[in-house]
Homo-oligomer: A and B are copies of this chain.
Amino acid sequence: MSAWLQPEPSNWWPIVDDALMEDVGSGDITSGCLAEELMFSWKIEAQQDGFLSGVAIADYLLGPMPGDPDSAWIEADRADGDFIKRGDVVLKGKCLARRVLTCERTVLNFLMHMSGIATLTSQFVQKVEGTGARIVDTRKTLPMLRSLEKYAVRCGGGHNHRMGLYDGVMIKDNHIAAAGSIQKAVDRVKEYASHMTKIEVECETIEQVEQAIAAGADIVLLDNMDPFQMRNAVSKFKGKVLLEASGGVTLDTVRAIAQTGVDLISVGALTHSAPGMPFHLEAS
């Protein structure tokens, strides 16, 4: 179940710490009503069916403090990527009551958001089962959450597109217009880019696809093409470059798109419109 790579903790620790501080601010003025030494046994339950993502963050916020193994006990009953049903306990533990009540909302906010993305992704993935097409995400992510959101996509069975503007070249309509032509844009990139970099070109017509391949693109994005055009592109170019469909992809349309034979289908909604998946924390 660990085929996917966890995001580097040093990438998510700061945002988790910051999220907690954003909530706590100058202090949790409610938790002071609890005795300082009071311990509290808790469990986190899913309130809806879906795919789990974010266990490591709960672990980080509610597990033992660094260097003090006795400060808390925690146990994960389920792992990231697991399908869980409403009412399933996913984590349980025990620590100072003040601490768990202060951290509760931050923990649940991460679990809700990441599991929501994993769950929506899994719905797309199931739709294209057997077609050979990969569901991939986009850069339509929320500020500073990209690593976690792209990880959640992997937990739902999806794959990742480039992480950002730095680890892959994507030449779009505006680049082409400004550079003069696909050929000129690609040539320009090859002058300065590392030999480790792949180049993708966004195309709206079959002619553009031809130009992109001639110019040396590694991947072609079929932008808002209809299934007929996509099928045409697949029949001509599959195997020469990777073909990625994009635009107008919904749970209703995705299977038809996959059946055209494209290699990849990118879906912005995975990260920008996944509804939160609810969990609650209670005494156990």
The chain A residues found within 8 Å of chain B, CB to CB, are 2-5, 7-8, 10-11, 15-36, 38, 40, 64-69, 97, 101-102, 105-106, 108-110, 112-113, 116, 134, 136, 139-147, 154, 159-175, 177-179, 184-186, 188-189, 191-198, 200, 219, 242, 244, 263-264, 268-269, 272-273, 275-276, 282-283
> Quick one: which of A27, A191, A282 has the most chain B CB within 10 A?
A27
Q: How far is the CB of A48 from chain B (nearest CB, A)?
A: 11
Interface pair A8/B30, CB less than 8 Å apart: no
Interface pair A169/B29, CB less than 8 Å apart: yes
Known: A15-B143, A29-B168, A159-B195. 20 other contacts (CB 8 A): A2-B36, A5-B31, A7-B26, A8-B24, A22-B144, A25-B26, A25-B163, A29-B165, A29-B166, A67-B69, A101-B172, A102-B165, A108-B140, A161-B196, A167-B167, A174-B282, A177-B283, A195-B242, A269-B275, A272-B276
Contacts of A188 in B (CB 8 A): 3, 32-33
Contacts of A3 in B (CB 8 A): 188, 191-192
Could you name 21 residue pairs across A and B whose Cβ atoms are closer than 8 Å?
A8-B27, A10-B17, A15-B143, A26-B166, A27-B165, A29-B167, A30-B171, A30-B172, A32-B189, A34-B175, A40-B174, A101-B175, A108-B140, A109-B272, A110-B143, A136-B194, A142-B142, A144-B144, A173-B282, A177-B283, A196-B200
Interface pair B24/A10, CB less than 8 Å apart: yes
Contacts of A146 in B (CB 8 A): 22-23, 26
Interface pair A166/B28, CB less than 8 Å apart: yes
Contacts of A64 in B (CB 8 A): 67
Interface pair B264/A192, CB less than 8 Å apart: no
Nearest CB in chain B to that of A264: its residue? B195
Interface pair B163/A166, CB less than 8 Å apart: yes
Contacts of A192 in B (CB 8 A): 3-5, 32, 154, 159
- What is the bound-complex CA distance between A153 and B1, given in angstroms? 39
Interface pair B8/A143, CB less than 8 Å apart: no
> Quick one: which of A109, A143, A160 has the most chain B CB within 10 A?
A143
Contacts of A163 in B (CB 8 A): 25-27, 166, 194
Interface pair A164/B195, CB less than 8 Å apart: no
- What is the bound-complex CA distance between A144 and B64, given in angstroms? 24
Nearest CB in chain B to that of A12: its residue? B143
Contacts A110-B143, A140-B109: A28 and B8 contacting too (C-beta < 8 A)? yes
Contacts of A17 in B (CB 8 A): 10
- What is the bound-complex CA distance between A110 and B145, given in angstroms? 13
